[in-house]
Amino acid sequence: MTATIDLAAHRPGDAELRLRDEVRQFLDDQRAAGAFRPRSDAWMSAADPTFSRRLGARGWLGMTLPARYDGHDRSPLERFAVVEELLVAGAPVAAHWIADRQMAPSILRNGTEEQRRRYLPGIARGECFFAIGMSEPDAGSDLAAVRTRAREVDGGWEITGTKLWTTGAHFAHAIVLLARTDGAPGDRHAGLSQFVVDLPHPAVHVRPITTIDGEHHFNEVVLDHAVVPAGALLGERGAGWRQVVAELAHERSGPERFLSTAPLLQAWASGLRGSDPVAAREVGRLTARAWTLRQLSLAVAAALAAGRSPEVAAALVKDLGSRFEGDIVETVRRVAGVEPRPGADGLAGLLAEAVPHTPAFTLRGGTNEILRSVVARGLGVR
């Protein structure tokens, strides 16, 4: 027997529309002042702590956090509106991205009161950045293949292991990682726990991984018998897998899963003059797909706001959206007649940034093959 995905369409209200106008005006002013230039894949590769603090000062970080933690008591859909505008503009949001997107809700849901008061106000101000330690060597996208161990010692935990592809660990103030506290590796999802490890730490070594474009976003993080206090345990001991799965719904379903290359599409479309019917047709096709993906992502956001956990729909957003992002790059490269030029302004520079990033779109956040298995299992066909 197969299941279906039941999500309601979201229609923005006046408050959301006014908020969008406010964000667009801010971004126009920032661009005019030279505060940033649009980047492809900015949420992954364009980190600017000063810009993050500006967003924090305007109340656009930690939006859904309660006011008692210096949050702003806004709805997830209002946050969606702000995030969507930042992504389309290619604004430099990578510094705060992980902290604001998934660690703030995770710490609010699973953390102790001490952890909430320690981290959440800084996240809302754009002054506390996080990395996530999930992937490990030789494990591919299998998050359950955790070999990092956390052993209980006097006054805390001793953690030993290696994490790979940890975005932003070189400037993060803390890393949240998944480690085995109980059982054996064959137990898979049981016996795993999450920890918050403050950085820098004398026994945590952050080593850069340089990508093909010569940039440094990823890191290898080696924990060499790193001792952390008992209060570093996030949530319930042994419940780490359940907590991580809940975080992934936030990670996989957001607008960043289909808007990473939106600045490239926007730059191409704005340069068309109506004399190229092939280009106009392709822009139309891509725009229609973007609109469909947006409705699905918005519906997932609305479901999350209602307290539901739409894992299947979230996996669909990531699978369809990340392929769409790559199709934008390939279409522009094939049709626009522009050579990529690293460092250039406009379409040539955006294309040069997007091309080497494209293979990662379907890998990060769980490969699309893994996500299709999630969808198949959720629909009862596997």
The token pair that represents 216 in the structure block: 């440094």
pLDDT attached to residue 121: 98
The answer on pLDDT for 366 being more than 80 is: no
Structure token pair of residue 182: 């109980």
| Residue 374 contacts residue 315 (beta carbons within 8 Å) | yes
| One-letter-per-residue 3-state SS of the chain | CCCCCCCCCCCCCHHHHHHHHHHHHHHHHHHHCCCCCCCCCHHHHCCCHHHHHHHHHCCCCCCCCCHHHCCCCCCHHHHHHHHHHHHHHCCCCHHHHHHHHHHHHHHHHHCCHHHHHHHHHHHHHCCCCEEEECCCCCCCCCCCCCCCEEEEECCEEEEEEEECCCCCCCCCCEEEEEEECCCCHHHCCCCEEEEEEECCCCCEEEEEEECCCCCEEEEEEEEEEEEEEHHHEECCCCEHHHHHHHHHHHHHHCCHHHHCCHHHHHHHHHHCCCCCHHHHHHHHHHHHHHHHHHHHHHHHHHHHHCCCCCHHHHHHHHHHHHHHHHHHHHHHHHHCCCCCCCCCCHHHHHHHHHHHHHHHHCCCCCCHHHHHHHHHHHCCCC
Confidence of residue 309 (pLDDT cuts 50, 70, 90): confident
Average the pLDDT over each of 140-144, 199-203, 206-210 and give the range with the smallest value.
Answer: 140-144
Please determine, for residue 5, whether its predicted confidence score (pLDDT) is greater than 70.
no
The predicted model gives 332-349 an average pLDDT of 93
Residue 268 has pLDDT above 60, yes or no: yes
Q: For residue 182, what pLDDT is reported?
A: 92
Domain layout of the chain by residue ranges = 14-128, 132-238, 253-379
Could you report the per-residue pLDDT of 28-48, keeping only the tens digit for each? 999 999 999 999 999 999 999
Tell whether the torsion through CA atoms of 133, 139, 145 and 149 is positive or negative: negative
- Whether the predicted pLDDT of 288 surpasses 70: yes
Question: Which pLDDT band, with edges at 50, 70 and 90, does 380 fall under?
Answer: confident
| The CATH fold of domain 132-238 | Butyryl-CoA Dehydrogenase, subunit A; domain 2 (2.40.110)
| pLDDT of 137 over the 80 cut | yes
Angle at 216 between CA 128 and CA 178, to 5 degrees: 55
Does domain 253-379 bear CATH number 3.30.390.50?
Answer: no
The percent of residues in the chain predicted with pLDDT above 90, rounded, is 68
Domain 14-128 fold:
Butyryl-Coa Dehydrogenase, subunit A; domain 1 (1.10.540)
* pTM of the model as a whole: 0.90
What is the model's pLDDT at position 145? Answer: 79
What's the rounded Cα separation, in Å, for the pair 382 and 373?
Answer: 8
Return the pLDDT at 132.
94
Per-residue pLDDT for 256 more than 70?
A: yes
Overall size of the chain counted in residues: 382
pLDDT at 1 over 60: no
- Once rounded to an integer, what is the mean pLDDT over residues 90-116? 96
- Average pLDDT of the residues of the chain: 91
Confidence of residue 336 (pLDDT cuts 50, 70, 90): very high
pLDDT digits (tens, 9 = 90+) for 79-99: 999 999 999 999 999 999 999
Instruction: Identify the band that residue 197 occupies on the pLDDT scale cut at 50, 70 and 90.
Output: very high
Largest CA distance in the chain: 73
- The model's pLDDT over 57-68, given as tens digits with 9 standing for 90+, comes to 999 999 999 999
Kindly state the average pLDDT of the residues 364-380: 80
Rounded Cα distance, 308 and 141, in Å = 25
Q: Rounded distance, CA 50 to CA 28, Å?
A: 17
- pLDDT of 214 over the 80 cut: yes
In the chain, pLDDT over 70 holds for what percent of residues? 97
Tell me the pLDDT band of 315, cut-offs 50, 70 and 90: confident
User: Quick one: average pLDDT of 210-216?
Assistant: 90
The whole-number pLDDT of residue 2 equals 54
Per-residue confidence (pLDDT) for residue 4, from 0 to 100:
62
Residue 280 confidence (pLDDT) above 70? yes
User: In this predicted structure, which of 37-51, 113-127, 291-305 has the lowest mean pLDDT?
Assistant: 291-305
More confident residue, 274 or 56: 56
